[in-house]
Amino acid sequence: NAGVTQTPKFQVLKTGQSMTLQCAQDMNHEYMSWYRQDPGMGLRLIHYSVGAGITDQGEVPNGYNVSRSTTEDFPLRLLSAAPSQTSVYFCASSYSIASVGSPLHFGNGTRLTVT
Amino acid sequence: KNEVEQSPQNLTAQEGEFITINCSYSVGISALHWLQQHPGGGIVSLFMLSSGKKKHGRLIATINIQEKHSSLHITASHPRDSAVYICAVSPGIGTASKLTFGTGTRLQVTL
């Protein structure tokens, strides 16, 4: 049982390049989400999914795409990277976000730098 | 104004001290989370609660729904408790998936 696996750990991109951050969980969780963490700010929700085939926007979705073709995987795509997307990205999953018996499980984070 | 406010922002304590971190929120919620972010960056969930009080080892979390306030207490603090503690809320019915986070409380426990 690996929990939430997030790759890569570090990435440097040039402005305009594209990339995909991978997130996978092996706990059969319905809910998966992506956050970015910037200095002095709380974690901010980018996109989330409540099940395969269902995604929705969070607080800061612009410049990011997601899909959820399987329960296990929830990749985050940057189509044309910008310096403003330099951040630390976290993926998290939960069986059910509103159930008090279902805590969040986080990946180890991806530190992305866009030059 | 952020929907989730934490205090204090920074806290230094000596080993053995009793610590309280506060979280106030302005929206109706279905649940409140307390998270711990280690110096290496990893985030772990400590508590998820919607009423009353929960205890795990030296950690205690309480919530007062009427006052829209939660506290995280650490008894007999230890240097290994040094971390950033983050409060997050799941809004009410219909928007339960959209978590909102506080900016965190940085705790340093010294010998």
**pLDDT value for A43:** 93
**pLDDT value for B33:** 92
Provide, as residue numbers in chain A, all residues whose Cβ is less than 8 Å from the Cβ of B100.
Answer: 42, 45, 59
Which carries the bigger pLDDT value, residue B51 or residue B94?
Answer: B51
Provide, as residue numbers in chain A, all residues whose Cβ is less than 8 Å from the Cβ of B41.
Answer: 88, 108-109
Give the range among A50-54, A73-77, B68-72 with minimum mean pLDDT: A50-54
> Do B48 and A106 lie within an 8 Å CB cutoff?
no
Phi, psi of A90 (to 5 degrees): -125, 140
**pLDDT value for A70:** 97
Task: Check: CB of residue B11 under 8 Å from CB of residue B106.
Answer: yes
CA atoms of B82 and B96, how far apart (whole Å):
30
Q: Which residues of A74-109 are buried (b: 16+ CB within 10 A; e: fewer)?
A: bbbebeebeeebbbebbbbbbeebbbbebbbbbbbb
**pLDDT value for A22:** 98
Nearest-CA distance A62 → chain B (Å):
16
Give the range among A101-110, B16-25, B42-51, B67-76 with minimum mean pLDDT: A101-110
**pLDDT value for A100:** 56
Average pLDDT over residues A46-73: 95
Provide, as residue numbers in chain B, all residues whose Cβ is less than 8 Å from the Cβ of A50.
Answer: 97
CA dihedral B84→B85→B89→B90, nearest 10 degrees, is 80
For residue A65, give the amino acid letter: N
**pLDDT value for A102:** 75
For residue B86, give the amino acid letter: I
Average pLDDT over residues A3-11: 96
Average pLDDT over residues A69-80: 97
Whether cis (ω within 30° of 0) applies to the bond prior to A75 is no
CA atoms of B68 and B21, how far apart (whole Å):
14
Provide, as residue numbers in chain A, all residues whose Cβ is less than 8 Å from the Cβ of B99.
Answer: 33, 43, 45, 97
> Do A100 and B102 lie within an 8 Å CB cutoff?
no
Which carries the bigger pLDDT value, residue B88 or residue A99?
Answer: B88
> Do B30 and A98 lie within an 8 Å CB cutoff?
yes
**pLDDT value for B16:** 97
**pLDDT value for A42:** 86
Q: What is the chain B residue with the closest CA to A35?
A: B99
pLDDT digits (tens, 9 = 90+) for B30-65: 889 999 999 888 999 999 988 999 999 999 999 999
Mean pLDDT computed over every residue of chain A: 92
pLDDT digits (tens, 9 = 90+) for A19-52: 999 999 999 998 999 999 998 888 999 999 989 9
CA dihedral B92→B96→B98→B101, nearest 10 degrees, is 70
The Cα angle at residue B98 between residues B74 and B82, in degrees rounded to 5: 25
